[in-house]
Structure 1
Amino acid sequence: MAAERYATPTLTVAATSGRRAGLILVGEVRAEVLRQLEEQLDAPPLSRADEWVVDMNKVTGIDLACVYALLQAAATRRPKTVTLTVRGARHAVRRTLHAAGLDVVAAIER
């Protein structure tokens, strides 16, 4: 099965309710988008949400720097606690998430 390719990685944030926010990642999530990812993680609606759902259905690859940004954002949000769920990550992407330790602070669903 050939891997899907997306011309440009994209990050989209959507508020699904006042307490829940979604982050949709698409394509190769690499160092080129790290700054944009960090800005999105600090900006509303993610900064106001208690629950984050990260959709990785269309992520073809992710580097450790971007995983660490997610990990840091979720783990250091004090005094507010964030519940983080990652959905739809491919096997290779899940391996990177686990290698970085994201599974310690997040539920990683297929």
Structure 2
Amino acid sequence: MTPEPHFTQPGVAVSAVDDRHAEVTLRGDIGLPLLCEVEELSADPRLLRAERWVLNLDGVPRIELACAYALLRAATEHSGTVTVRGARHSVLHTLRQAGLDKAAVIEKQHRRPPPAP
């Protein structure tokens, strides 16, 4: 398993688990300042080689529609399986607006139990 990328500000990181699996991790508010990075995912060689990749959105509180469309383009240009993991309700809403739910498997996020008193 590859280590979790370290983010000090909003960003995009790609890690190849092996030749068949890759993970894209996004953190922070994903908006227009990151649009070029998100659009470049469709040309990333680690993703092009991977049969399956996971889109980890656990640390994303908000995503702009333009970035969601860029994720859709990357997913539809990929010949394998794309799985969206950890997306919050508001982020899922935007991803669905862009149509990503038609091109990727979206895992339901489990509610975290409240902290113990």
Fold conserved between structures, TM > 0.5: yes
TM-score normalised to structure 2 length: 0.80
Structure 2 gap segments, 5+ residues each:
1-6, 110-117
Percent of aligned pairs with the same amino acid = 44
Q: Which runs of 5+ in 1 are unaligned?
A: 1-5
1:57 is aligned to 58
Structure ranking higher in strand proportion? 1
Instruction: Report the counterpart of residue 99 of structure 1 in structure 2.
Output: 97
Match of 2:76 in 1: 75
The match for 2:82 among 84, 89, 99 is 84
Report the Cα distance in structure 2 between the residues aligned to 1:76 and 1:57, rounded to whole angstroms.
23
Q: Give the ranges of 4+ consecutive aligned residues of structure 1 lying more than 4 Å apart after TM superposition.
A: none
Structure number with greater Rg is 2
In the alignment, the residues of structure 1 paired with residue 31 and residue 57 of structure 2 have an alpha-carbon distance, to the nearest angstrom, of 14
Q: 1:58-108 CA deviation, whole Å, 9 max, x = no partner?
A: 00100111111111122134xxx1211000000100111111110001111
Relative to the length of structure 1, the TM-score reads 0.85
Q: Residue 3 of structure 1 corresponds to which residue in structure 2?
A: none
In 1: Cα distance, 2:8 partner to 2:52 partner: 29
Judge conservation of contact 1:7–1:27 (CA < 8 Å) in 2: no
CA RMSD of aligned residues (A): 1.5
The 3-state SS of whatever aligns with 1:96 is helix
1:85 alignment partner AA: T
